[in-house]
C-alpha cells in the first residue's frame, strides 16, 4: 500500500504544479467512504443521464445532468435553483456565450451523502488556497457520460484543450467500461505539455487550478467494437464570488 496522501500535501502539490493526479487508493483515504452510504446508487445514476442535445447536432455522443450549489465561508452547502450552464466563448469556442440547460441531477443524489462528501472534501481542499478572495463559492456539478462507438471515438473534451473559466476543477472518475485512451493532458499558457495521466480506476481524480493551466482529454475508443463503451465522470467546478450585498440600515 502506498503512503497516505493528506490534504496539506495535496494542496502543496497543487500550489507547486497547478494540477494534481490522485489515485483511487489515495482518494479513498481522503474521502469519508464509510459515510457515503448511497455510493452504489450514486454510481448507478450515470445510467439515468440525458443526451447533450447541444452536441448531438455535430454528431458527438455525450449525456449529462447538472446541478448548482452555493458554499459559504463556513462550509455551509446549499443547492441552488436549477439554472443554465454558461461559459464565455473565451473559454469554450464550441459552445460559448449561450445558456445551456441540462436535466437537473436528481434531488436524492444531489442532496445525498456521496455528493455532499465530495463537495465538502473539495471545499476543504480549495478554499484555503484562495488567499485574498472572498470565500463564497459558486459550485457547479456535472455528471458526464462519454460514449465511444466503433465508427466514432468519444470526445471527453470536444472543445479541445481549454480553461473552464473558474478557479478550481475536480474531475472524479466514476466508471469506465470497454474503452481505451482518455488521457488527460495538462498544458502551460504557451501550449507546452506539463503532464499527462489516465483516469483508469473508479475514484481516480484530477484537480487543476484553472487560471494556471489548461487541460484536455484525448478521445476514447472501444476495446471491443461490438460492445457498449463509455467513460463516466463527475466534474465539479469552484468559482469564488463576492458576498451578497446588504442593504444599509
Per residue of the chain (249 residues), give pLDDT as tens: 567 899 999 999 999 999 999 999 999 999 999 999 999 999 999 999 998 877 655 445 789 999 999 999 999 999 999 988 665 555 555 554 477 788 999 999 999 999 999 999 999 999 999 977 668 999 999 999 999 988 778 887 777 888 999 999 999 999 999 999 999 999 999 999 999 999 999 999 999 999 999 999 999 999 999 999 999 999 999 999 876 543 343
Tell me the pairing of strands 168-177 and 205-209.
antiparallel
Check residue 249 and give its pLDDT: 37
Check residue 135 and give its pLDDT: 80
Whether residue 55 lies inside any domain: the answer is yes
Check residue 248 and give its pLDDT: 40
d(CA 152, CA 211): 32
Check residue 62 and give its pLDDT: 85
β partners of residue 66: 104, 142
Counting the structural domains of the chain, the total is 1
d(CA 138, CA 240): 6
Check residue 95 and give its pLDDT: 56
C-alpha cell recorded at residue 101: 440547460
Residue keyed to cell 459558486? 138
Look up the CATH number of the domain holding residue 31. Answer: 2.60.120.620
Residue keyed to cell 483515504? 29
Whether residue 69 lies inside any domain: the answer is yes
Whether residue 195 lies inside any domain: the answer is yes
β partners of residue 171: 206, 235
Whether residue 1 lies inside any domain: the answer is no
Whether residue 84 lies inside any domain: the answer is yes
Check residue 243 and give its pLDDT: 64
Q: What is the pTM of this model?
A: 0.90
Whether residue 98 lies inside any domain: the answer is yes
Check residue 59 and give its pLDDT: 42
SS (H, E, C) the chain: CCCCCCHHHHHHHHHHHCEEEECHHHHHHHCCHHHCCCHHHHHHHHHHCEECHHHHCCCCCEEEEEEEEEECCCCCEEECCCCCEECCCCCCCCCCCCEECCCECCHHHHCCHHHHHHHHHHHHHHHHHCCCCCCEEEEEEEEEEEECECCECECCCCCCCECCCCCEEEEEEEEEECEEECEEEEECCCCCEEEEEECCCCCCEEEEECCCCEEEECCEEECCCCCCCEEEEEEEEEEEECCCCCCCC
Burial of 214 (0-12, 13-18, 19+ CB in 10 A): buried
Residue keyed to cell 452510504? 37
Q: Which domain holds residue 196?
A: 7-241
Burial of 96 (0-12, 13-18, 19+ CB in 10 A): middle
Whether residue 152 lies inside any domain: the answer is yes
Whether residue 246 lies inside any domain: the answer is no
Amino acid at each position: 500500500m502506498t503512503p497516505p496522501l493528506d490534504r496539506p500535501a495535496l494542496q502543496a502539490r497543487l500550489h507547486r504544479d497547478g494540477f494534481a493526479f490522485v489515485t483511487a487508493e489515495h482518494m479513498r483515504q481522503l474521502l469519508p467512504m464509510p459515510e457515503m452510504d448511497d455510493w452504489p446508487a450514486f454510481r448507478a445514476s450515470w445510467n439515468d443521464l440525458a443526451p447533450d442535445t447541444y452536441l448531438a447536432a455535430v454528431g458527438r455522443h455525450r449525456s449529462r445532468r447538472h446541478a448548482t450549489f452555493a458554499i459559504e465561508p463556513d462550509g455551509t452547502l446549499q443547492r441552488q435553483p436549477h439554472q443554465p450552464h454558461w461559459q464565455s466563448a473565451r473559454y469554450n469556442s464550441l459552445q460559448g456565450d449561450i445558456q445551456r440547460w441540462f436535466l437537473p441531477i436528481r434531488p436524492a443524489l444531489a442532496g445525498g451523502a456521496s455528493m455532499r462528501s465530495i463537495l465538502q472534501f473539495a471545499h476543504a481542499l480549495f478554499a484555503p488556497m484562495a488567499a485574498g478572495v472572498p470565500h463564497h463559492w459558486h459550485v457547479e456539478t456535472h455528471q458526464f457520460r462519454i460514449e465511444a462507438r466503433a465508427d466514432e471515438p468519444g470526445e471527453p473534451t470536444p472543445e479541445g484543450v481549454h480553461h473552464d473559466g473558474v478557479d478550481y476543477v475536480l474531475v472524479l472518475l466514476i466508471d469506465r467500461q470497454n474503452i481505451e485512451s482518455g488521457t488527460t493532458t495538462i498544458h502551460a499558457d504557451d501550449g507546452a505539455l506539463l503532464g499527462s495521466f489516465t483516469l483508469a480506476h473508479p475514484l481516480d481524480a484530477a484537480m487543476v487550478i484553472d487560471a494556471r493551466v489548461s487541460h484536455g482529454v484525448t478521445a476514447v475508443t472501444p476495446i471491443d467494437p461490438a460492445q457498449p463503451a463509455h467513460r463516466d465522470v463527475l466534474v465539479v467546478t469552484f468559482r469564488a464570488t463576492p458576498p451578497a450585498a446588504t442593504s444599509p440600515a
